[in-house]
Structure 1
Amino acid sequence: MEKKRRFALIGTGNRGTTMWGTDLLAGWAEHVEMVAIVDRNRLRAERARAMIGAEAPIYTELDPMLQAVRPDLVIVCTPDDSHDDIVVRSLESGADVITEKPMTTTVDKIRRIIEAEKRTGRRVDVSFNYRYAPTAARIKTLLDAGEIGRVTSVDFHWYLDTSHGADYFRRWHAYAKHSGSLFVHKATHHFDLLNWYLGSDPQAVTAFADLKMYGRKGPFRGSRCRHCAHMKECDFYFDLEADPFLGALYEEPSKLDGYFRDGCVFREDIDIPDTMVAAIRYGNGVHVSYSLNTFQPIEGHHIAFNGTGGRIELRQYESQPWEVPAQDTILVVRNFQKGAQAVERIAVPHASGGHYGGDDRMRNMIFKPGMSDPLAQRAGSRAGAVSVLCGIAALSSARAGTTVRLAELMPELLGEQLL
């Protein structure tokens, strides 16, 4: 009989409670056992444990849990800037680690994690679930098969709507010291997809970024939405109490730590951009045009691969004010062809589960024994590092007005084979 992996959940926010709590135990209980929950806010941890339906003991500090429980695996779902300490200490205790993206936020923190992983011989997995979405896997298969020849450039544009995008400016993500900016926190997903699709490392980044909607750009402000004097006139008013799940996890527990889930999106001290563009040059010669917008009436992305033999294009809708089919359509358009022969339309139905089935496929890969990985979807610490470095380079470029070369940020890492 397979031995269950004994895991500890660190951080009981939305993602930890659902993806790595309720959902993990519901679908993979034959492979894993939750043996501890750690959160500095004990009330939030208690609420999360009840939602998960677990009986695991609660700890408010990491080290006592590691010493008492000795988990095989630690799953990290805390704010981004705290990942490195938790990952390193967990590795040193003898546990493997799964960390939510981004792996961390600075070059020094990347170094700490990679050094600890090498020194301890344990494994770090980074939760890059977008790699596992059925449409992403199909695109990767088409690219690897050379369906459009050699890729020369990529157009990649991501749109966050006024619900999802604004949410990053309500929370700790709105401060670069915690999230590294959305060039790191959100775009780490996108940069990782590019690295994986292209099978190459980014070499240099030139970027522009600004705050155009949120923060000091707002017409008025308060500390949080609850009891705000402007709630009736603010388009971004967020009623936390209207969501029982978020209300239970965050409202009453905020009395213990002062963390409000409904912070004003117009707080003047917000210091991350909300509108970002970047040009990226890859080691294999591919040029990428990338953008991230955070206050659109739509949610989703557009990506197109331009090759010597044609073009692969996808427009994926996640939220929009009109109905779309529950599937994606990949267009493969070939050079020097005419009529129906020029275009192949590949329909990819959406799978159940988060990220169109990507979450479930990732958990299968990590937890089910004997899983093959022909597309190299399972992402380790190097993949996590390179995607973060790309985000760090982009923010540095936007702030300094210069092109940033990634090898100058971390020369000991770049140049190795991409994992």
Structure 2
Amino acid sequence: MAAVTKRRVALVGTGFRGAGTWGKELLATCGEWVELVGLSDSNPMRLERARAAIGVHVPAFADCSAMLTETRPDTLIVCTPDDTHARMIVTALEAGVDVLTEKPMTTTAEMCRTILAAERRTGRRVDVGFNYRFSPTARAIKEVLLSGIIGEIVSVDFHWYLDVQHGADYFRRWHAFIAHSGSLFVHKATHHFDLLNWYLGADPEEVFARGALRRYGRAGPFRGPRCKLCPHADECDFFFDLARHPWLETLYEDPSREDGYVRDACVFREEIDIFDTMTAAILYQNGVQVSYSLNTFLPIEGYHLAFNGKKGRVQIRQYERQAWETPAEDEILVLRNFGPAERIRVPHQPGGHFGGDPALQRMLFVPDMADPLGQRAGARAGAVSVLCGVAAVDSVRSGAPVKVMPLLGGEA
């Protein structure tokens, strides 16, 4: 049997997601087909610690361009802050390198257009890491919708719940600023909008949204320099002890001396400008109406999703963390207008996002993987999901509905 030619992969951004999912975990899942040839990060201490944690003896670079020149990878994996993605992606494409980028692909309409133009100009490929498409439950929902059992879909109810652990964490980090994350309408909801686009097989037409900062930021009762130094630690419900999270402490605490970025910033910083409470009404080009919401400070984690068709309804309440014990499976209800109901139970799988992370990794790096459901997402899918969020932010600011696809300009 001929030896497998491994795909040469370089990684820029060695934080939690980069060093973990696209470092250690990628090699554990796809080491037979992937060779990691270089690592890059602007923080030299984090870079060295990530390299040791991943367990590879590969060159490390402060500059991504230098890494691309010297290591000549086939694929660059981008895990830097969201507002830097476009620069990294375009640099790689112009160097003749394919790209896998963490979501969101980028944060603005202009950057979306720039990436799509560069992909077309260079002939290289951009993939976006939409791991939620690859969870067993998402696959099962897609198959049910394709079966036509509920007929033509006319509306969708989609409500995502972040608890006071996960939700608050966005307000401790760089994500808390629109300039870096585009807001959670972009950074987090890009997952949700992409799922809608994929499930419905259609582009969004128009978004009307509302957003507010009700719990974090300037809405907080007090604030401090960071949790580690805060005089209110004993009375703050959101106190975060980094020392209780060894992996995060390794990647961020000592390395913060290099660049000043701390992992336990105060969730009540007055300069925070993203929303923590969001709703949107989305109209699709095929006429489907969507009611969407995202809340970031609840006692529960997960989502409620329902598709309303002319012949019935498909619904799910997906549980992550709850105040009560839940089974290690999801239950999809298929309800016919005239006929029996059906329960589809989907067991959770090993790996991040209930098995979505390793399934995405295999799709991207195992040769000749079939993709019958179109789960693999390219640059256009990445752009359209971002532009849903961009349109939502524009709508909040203007108080008016915003058309989505014209934001792509000539790249539509």
TM-score (norm 1): 0.97
Q: Which residue of 2 aligns with 1:22?
A: 24
Q: Secondary structure at the match of 1:315?
A: strand
Matched letter for residue 388 of structure 2: C
Q: How far is the alpha carbon of 1:227 from its aligned partner?
A: 1.8
Given that 2:314 and 2:335 are in contact with CA atoms closer than 8 Å, whether structure 1 keeps it comes out as yes
Once residues 140 and 254 of structure 2 are traced to their aligned partners in structure 1, the CA distance between those partners, rounded to angstroms, is 44
Once residues 346 and 410 of structure 2 are traced to their aligned partners in structure 1, the CA distance between those partners, rounded to angstroms, is 40
Alignment of 1:8-407 (within 5 A): 8-337=10-339, 341=340, 343-407=341-405
Once residues 49 and 67 of structure 1 are traced to their aligned partners in structure 2, the CA distance between those partners, rounded to angstroms, is 20
Q: Secondary structure at the match of 1:388?
A: helix
Q: Secondary structure at the match of 1:247?
A: helix
Q: How far is the alpha carbon of 1:336 from its aligned partner?
A: 2.3
Given that 2:117 and 2:411 are in contact with CA atoms closer than 8 Å, whether structure 1 keeps it comes out as no
Q: Which residue of 1 aligns with 2:4?
A: 2
Matched letter for residue 370 of structure 2: S
Given that 2:204 and 2:405 are in contact with CA atoms closer than 8 Å, whether structure 1 keeps it comes out as no
Once residues 58 and 389 of structure 1 are traced to their aligned partners in structure 2, the CA distance between those partners, rounded to angstroms, is 34
**Deviations, residues 30-72 of structure 1 (Å, cap 9, x unaligned):** 1011111000101001111111111111100111111111111
Given that 2:112 and 2:408 are in contact with CA atoms closer than 8 Å, whether structure 1 keeps it comes out as no
Once residues 207 and 130 of structure 2 are traced to their aligned partners in structure 1, the CA distance between those partners, rounded to angstroms, is 22
Q: Secondary structure at the match of 2:162?
A: strand
Q: How far is the alpha carbon of 1:399 from its aligned partner?
A: 1.1
Q: Secondary structure at the match of 2:227?
A: coil
**Deviations, residues 218-277 of structure 1 (Å, cap 9, x unaligned):** 000012101210000000000011111111100000000000000000000000000000
Matched letter for residue 36 of structure 2: M
Structure 1 alignment gaps of length 5 or more: 415-419
Q: How far is the alpha carbon of 1:147 from its aligned partner?
A: 1.1
Given that 2:105 and 2:382 are in contact with CA atoms closer than 8 Å, whether structure 1 keeps it comes out as yes
Given that 2:177 and 2:274 are in contact with CA atoms closer than 8 Å, whether structure 1 keeps it comes out as yes
Q: Secondary structure at the match of 1:279?
A: strand
Matched letter for residue 47 of structure 2: A
Once residues 252 and 383 of structure 1 are traced to their aligned partners in structure 2, the CA distance between those partners, rounded to angstroms, is 38
Q: How far is the alpha carbon of 1:411 from its aligned partner?
A: 3.5
Given that 2:101 and 2:129 are in contact with CA atoms closer than 8 Å, whether structure 1 keeps it comes out as yes
Matched letter for residue 265 of structure 1: V
> Number of paired residues?
410
The alignment's C-alpha RMSD in Å is 0.7
Once residues 27 and 204 of structure 1 are traced to their aligned partners in structure 2, the CA distance between those partners, rounded to angstroms, is 39
**Deviations, residues 50-100 of structure 1 (Å, cap 9, x unaligned):** 111111111001111111111111000000000000000011111110000
**Deviations, residues 308-362 of structure 1 (Å, cap 9, x unaligned):** 000000000000111111100000010023xxx2x10111111111111111111
Once residues 184 and 311 of structure 1 are traced to their aligned partners in structure 2, the CA distance between those partners, rounded to angstroms, is 28
Once residues 80 and 151 of structure 1 are traced to their aligned partners in structure 2, the CA distance between those partners, rounded to angstroms, is 33
Q: Secondary structure at the match of 2:409?
A: coil
Once residues 147 and 251 of structure 1 are traced to their aligned partners in structure 2, the CA distance between those partners, rounded to angstroms, is 52
Once residues 391 and 372 of structure 2 are traced to their aligned partners in structure 1, the CA distance between those partners, rounded to angstroms, is 30
Given that 2:384 and 2:405 are in contact with CA atoms closer than 8 Å, whether structure 1 keeps it comes out as no
Q: Secondary structure at the match of 2:229?
A: coil
Once residues 413 and 402 of structure 1 are traced to their aligned partners in structure 2, the CA distance between those partners, rounded to angstroms, is 24
Matched letter for residue 29 of structure 1: G
Once residues 33 and 140 of structure 1 are traced to their aligned partners in structure 2, the CA distance between those partners, rounded to angstroms, is 33
Once residues 330 and 134 of structure 2 are traced to their aligned partners in structure 1, the CA distance between those partners, rounded to angstroms, is 15
Once residues 17 and 66 of structure 1 are traced to their aligned partners in structure 2, the CA distance between those partners, rounded to angstroms, is 18
Q: How far is the alpha carbon of 1:2 from its aligned partner?
A: 2.2
Matched letter for residue 391 of structure 1: G
Once residues 370 and 89 of structure 1 are traced to their aligned partners in structure 2, the CA distance between those partners, rounded to angstroms, is 27
Moved runs in structure 1, 4+ residues, more than 4 A? none
Q: How far is the alpha carbon of 1:27 from its aligned partner?
A: 1.7
